[in-house]
Structure formats: structure tokens, C-alpha cells
Amino acid sequence: MSDYALALTLVFVGITMLLSIRQKLGLEKEIVVGTVRSALQLLLVGYILHIVFGSRHPLLIMLIITVMIAVAAWNAGGRAKRVPRIRLAVALALLCTESVTMAVLLGLGIIEATPRFIIPVSGMTIGSSMVVSGLFLNQMKRETESSRGEMEAYLALGATVRQALAPSVKRAVRSSMIPTFDSMKTIGLVQLPGMMTGMIVAGAEPIEAVRYQILIVFVLASAAAITAMLMGYMSYRLWLDKEGRPYI
Amino acid sequence: MTPLLELHQLAKLQFDNREEYLFRPITSKVAQGDRIAVIGASGQGKSTLLRILARLERPDEGYMSLDGVSDKDWKPAQWRKKVCYTAQHPVMLPGTVEDNLQTVSRLHSLPFDAPAAKGYMGQLGLGDLDWKKEASSLSGGEKQRVALVRSLLLQPDVLLLDEFTASLDPGSREGAELCVRQWADTSKAAVVLISHDMEQAERMCSVVWFMAGGELLEAADAGRFFAAPETEAARQFLKRHAGEGETKNV
Ligand SMILES: Nc1ncnc2c1ncn2[C@@H]1O[C@H](COP(=O)(O)OP(=O)(O)OP(=O)(O)O)[C@@H](O)[C@H]1O
Ligand SMILES: [Mg+2]
């Protein structure tokens, strides 16, 4: 795409701006900030990827993945700030998910061990796992509020913290995975995934693009399952103190 | 008799004002076979005290011991198995009545004592209740009794009952009192119950803990307490309750 064409995309920002002003939505500042940030962040990432793809240094790749995990964990962990060490726990879940995913993809030779493959696939894996852990935390927060009586009834009957939390954790694991599987069912029919669209626009054969998209869909499904399961597993130590009282 | 449960300078601060006590340090004990009635005006911290005894709430000062072992040396779950709190507002667990009754056997991998459960249900006037019914659809009084059976099946050493007949009609209330008394007699357990019904406290208990003015004001033999309380606060309290009883009967 030429610089001229890229600059012309500002027309869309203009439309948004015009609507906001005409309808007195008061969103002008948001639009400006959003436009500038998205452009800057994406350009920055583009240049970083350019450097990484050029150098192919494994440490550089690891650094990028670490940053991705840190940002994702910080972001998702923010949903349950009051739970001690929650961001660390999310980071751990994301790290395990990413490691398992990459071990399988690279170990079986499904993708090439080059930054061109590793980084985008990692980004998608971590990004979607971040959404899953965010959903999980939201749901657990709701559970510890709405099921407090239930948990206490279990504890009063001599249940361990693990036993008292198990029903809530199970519900939270399920509900954090459901959106991923729901979108698997309608993919291609309702929404054309961004990655596939991007590949096609950039000139790839649709069939080839679809094959990669299938890979991604399956990877994301397993990543969702691994993340949700790990978050559930760690919950037993996170949400209740030793005596069985919830932190939230 | 050797005390089962001992309270050593146990105190709780108010939830919203951490400068003031909800109740000042309490030192007391519960022995095997004791029947203790905790009475006092609303908001004195009776439920909070029982929840602390069951380790569902943390005291702000002091500690407890059970069977001579200090609370910090007990696993909380093991403690709660022996000191069981039955809530003022009963909570049904997800599933049917049967699922609820089987909770204890499921949690502790014990065989389900169906005859005992049937027996208690019958005594509580729930002999005809369909066990396949969703527990959440029960009436308040039914829930309260199912929760009681759940606790009895745990066979605790100390049973803590928080207004366990509050939503029962007089007939079911009598059944519930009898059921608890018989259970406690045969299992040699101690019962600590909160009640706003002085007649029930007198019928069921031999000891009274009277909470007023942010402390355990009197801990006395029930007969003596109801005949001649030591403090002015207790006299006033009993007088108010006697008045209430009369107006209710009119
Ligand atoms: N978890 C809690 N958070 C905040 N405040 C609480 C909590 N539990 C109890 N309180 C407050 O502590 C005080 C004592 O409550 P508690 O339930 O122990 O009283 P009670 O003597 O059992 O009263 P009642 O006879 O009405 O049941 C009340 O003012 C109550 O509002
Ligand atoms: Mg109460």
C-alpha cells in the first residue's frame, strides 16, 4: 500500500469525527487519542518486527514474547486487582499456554521456526488467552459474590477450601471457554477472521489463507482450554485465604 | 466435664467502626452435653460470635481451643466438621433435596445414612417432602429444616444453631426442638443456639449467655437467669420480651 493510500485512510477518521460533532457525542478527544495511539503503536510494532525478522536472534524473539505476556497479564489481571498475586498467576497461565502451543507447533514441524511465524502466532495465542483469562476472572468475581452463601454452606459442613470452591471454578472455566467454541461454529459464515482477510488482501491464495486460519482456530481453541484450566487450577490457592474466606 | 470448646479473651471489633468493640473479650467454655442459649437484642453480635466459633469469621482478639488444641493447630475444615454452624438464613446447595441431604457424605466420602436422614425429616414434619424436588424451590421453613438435617448428618461435637425455628409454625417448631434435643442426647453433643424466643431458650437450654452493651454481660444457669437476672440490662430485656409474648398471644 502506498503512503498516499495510507494517508487517505484518514478519511475514515474524518467520518467518525464528523458524526461525533454533528451528533454532539463529545467523543472527539477519544477519537483523536485512539487514532494517534493505534497508528503509533502499530507503526512501532511494524518497525520492531522488521528488525526482529532481520536479525532472527532467539533472545530477541523471547524478549518480544515476554513483553506480550507481561502486557496481557497486566491487562487481564486488572479485572481482579484485589486478589493477591493475580497478575503473576495470569502471566504463569499465559506462559504455560504459549509454551505448550509452541512446543507442539514447532516440535511437530507444523510451522517454521522463524520469527515470521512464531511472533504472529504467539501474538494471537497470547491475545486470545488474555481474553479467556479476563472472562474467567470476571466470572470468578461474580461467583465469589453471588455464591458466597453457597461456599459458606459448604465450609460450614466441613468442606475444604478446594471442595467449597470447586462448583464455582467449574462454572467459571466453562463460561470462559464458551465464547471461543461459539465463534468456532460460525467462523467464515458470519465473520471473516482478520488474519485470513489480511493474508488475502496481501495477495495470498484464499485456499492457502484458509489453511492457516484453520491452524489458528484450532490453536486458539486449545489455548483457551489450557488457559481456562490453569486459571481454574490456580484459583484454589488464589481466591480464598487459608481459612476459606474470599478476598473479594 | 472436660470442656470441648474454650474461648480465650475472644473479641470482635465493629465492622464499620474499628475503634469500638462489637463485643469485648469473652472467656468461656462449652462442655460436652451443654445446652447454651445465646440471647440479646438484635445487632449485638450473636450471629457473629457463633460464626467465629465455627471459624467462618475471624476474631479480632483472642483465640479458641477445641479438645484442648489451639485453633491455629487445627485444619479449618477439620474444626468446622466438629463445630458446625447452621445459618440464620439457610442456603440450599445446587440440586435436589436429596443432593443437599447427601452433601456431607459426598464431602467426606462417607456412606449416606438414608434411614437417619429419613428419620430426621420425619421428626421435622418433612416426611412427605419429595426428595427429587429442586432444593431452591422449597419454602423458607422447608429450607431451614433441610439445612438442619444437613448439619445433623454431619454429627458435629458442637452444633451451633442460629434462630433455627425462626420461620417455622408452632407445630413444626416443637418437632424441630424435640429432634435437636433427642439428637444431642444420643450423640452427647453440645448445642449452642441463638433465640429470640425466651420460652424456647428456657425449654431447651440449661445455660444462658446474655449479650448486651457490647459484651457477654451474663453467663448463668438458665433457671436462675430467667427467675432473677443479675443485671438491670437483663431485667429490662426480659421484661420487654415478656411484654412481646403477651401481645403476641392476644
Ligand atoms: N459481614 C459483615 N459485614 C459488615 N457488617 C456486619 C457483618 N456481619 C455482621 N455485621 C454487623 O455486625 C453487627 C452484629 O451482627 P450479628 O448478625 O452478629 O447480630 P445478631 O446479634 O445476630 O443480630 P440478630 O438478632 O438481628 O440476628 C450488626 O450491626 C451487623 O450489621
Ligand atoms: Mg443473628
B56-91 per-position pLDDT tens digit: 999 999 999 999 999 999 999 999 999 999 999 999
If one compares B248 and B31, the residue with the highest pLDDT of the two is B31
Query: Is residue B75 a part of any domain in this protein?
Result: no
pLDDT recorded at residue A49: 87
Same domain, A110 and A9: no
- Please tell me whether residues A11 and A74 are part of one structural domain: no
Q: Please state, for a pLDDT cut of 90, what percent of chain B lies above it.
A: 92
Do residue B173 and residue B240 come from a single domain?
no
As a whole number, the mean pLDDT across chain B is 93
Q: Is residue B178 part of a domain?
A: yes
CB atoms A155 and B80 under 8 Å: yes
Domain that holds residue A125: 58-238
Q: Do A158 and B108 touch (CB under 8 A)?
A: yes
Judge if A37 and A110 occupy the same domain. Answer: no
Q: What are phi and psi of A238, to 5 degrees?
A: -95, -45
**Same structural domain, B141 and B229:** no
- What is the domain-level CATH number for residue B177? 3.40.50.300
Distance from C-alpha of B55 to C-alpha of A247, rounded to nearest angstrom: 16
Query: Mean pLDDT lowest for which of A191-200, A228-237, B10-19, B216-225?
Result: A191-200
Report whether B72 contacts B78 (CB < 8 A): no
State whether A45 and A164 are in the same domain: no
Shared domain for A104 and A227, answered yes or no, is yes
Judgement on whether residues B171 and B115 belong to the same structural domain of the protein? yes
Contact: A154, B103; criterion CB under 8 Å: yes
Number of domains in chain A: 2
Give yes or no: residues A78 and A98 share one domain: yes
Question: Average pLDDT for residues B133-146, to the nearest whole number?
Answer: 96
Alpha carbon distance, N-terminus to C-terminus of chain B: 44
Determine, yes or no, domain membership for B139.
yes
pLDDT of B202 over the 90 cut: yes
Of A219, A69, A42, A245, residue with least CA distance to A155: A245
Residue B249: predicted pLDDT: 43
Q: How far is the CA of B42 from the centre of ligand 1 (A)?
A: 8
Give A114 to chain B, closest Cα distance, Å.
51
Size of interface A-B (CB pairs under 8 A): 65
Measure the CA–CA gap between A121 and A214, rounded to whole angstroms.
12
pLDDT at A186: 85
Q: Are residue A114 and residue A159 in the same domain, yes or no?
A: yes
pLDDT of residue B245 exceeding 60: no
In this complex, is the C-beta atom of B150 within 8 Å of any C-beta atom belonging to chain A?
A: yes
Q: Is B91 near chain A, with CB under 8 Å?
A: yes
Q: Does B93 touch chain A (CB under 8 A)?
A: yes
Residue B248 has what pLDDT? 45
Residue A55 has a pLDDT of 84
- Residue A244 falls inside a structural domain: no
- What ligand 1 atom has the least distance to the C-alpha of B50? 18
CA-nearest residue for atom 2, ligand 1, is B15
Residue B140 touches partner A, C-beta closer than 8 Å: no
* CA–CA gap between residue A13 and residue A5 (Å, rounded): 14
Question: Does residue B47 contact residue B218 with C-beta atoms inside 8 Å?
Answer: no
Please provide the size of chain B in residues: 250
Query: Over 70: is that where the pLDDT of B95 sits?
Result: yes
Same-domain pairing of A24 and A87: no
Answer yes or no: do B98 and B151 share one domain.
yes
Q: Are residues A135 and A216 in the same domain?
A: yes
A144 domain residue, yes or no: yes
pLDDT of residue A89: 95
Nearest CA in chain A to B136: A150
- The confidence band for B1, taking pLDDT boundaries of 50, 70 and 90, is low
Same domain, A49 and A131: no
Alpha carbon B160 to its chain's center: 3
Residue A219 included in any domain: yes
Contact B30, B5 (CB under 8 A): yes
Choose the closest CB to A160 out of B77, B103, B151. Answer: B77
> Residue B111 domain-assigned?
yes
Q: How many domains does chain B have?
A: 2
Are A37 and A81 found together in one domain? no
The whole-number pLDDT of residue A247 equals: 61
Please classify residue B247 by burial: count the beta carbons closer than 10 Å to its beta carbon, then call 0-12 exposed, 13-18 middle and 19+ buried: exposed
Beta strands at B207-212 and B190-194: parallel, antiparallel or unpaired: unpaired
Distance CA B167, CA B156 (A): 23
Question: Do the domain assignments include residue B193?
Answer: no
Q: Does B77 touch chain A (CB under 8 A)?
A: yes
Domain range for residue B229? 217-249
Instruction: Show the ligand 1 pocket: residues with CB < 6 angstroms.
Output: B 15, 22, 42-48, 88
Find the length of chain A: 248
The values of phi and psi at residue A208, to 5°, are -65, -45
pTM over 0.80: yes
Assigned domain for A62 exists: yes
In terms of domains, do B177 and B243 share one? no
Place of cell 465464547: A179
User: What is the predicted pLDDT for the residue at A163?
Assistant: 92
Task: Specify if B96 maps to a domain.
Answer: yes
Q: B43 CA to middle of ligand 1, Å?
A: 5
Residues of A in contact with B58 (CB under 8 A): 243, 245
**Would you place residue B244 in the very low, low, confident or very high pLDDT band (cuts 50, 70, 90)?**
low
Cell for B135? 432444593
Low-confidence ranges of chain A (pLDDT < 50): 248
A246: Cβ contacts below 8 Å, ≥ 6 apart:
A144, A148, A151, A239, A240
Q: How far is the CA of B68 from the centre of ligand 1 (A)?
A: 29
pLDDT digits (tens, 9 = 90+) for B161-171: 999 999 899 98
Give the full edge-to-edge strand order of the sheet including B61-66: B21-31, B3-13, B61-66, B69-70
Tell whether A22 and A86 lie within a shared domain.
Answer: no
**What is the Cα–Cα distance from B71 to B54, expressed in whole angstroms?**
11
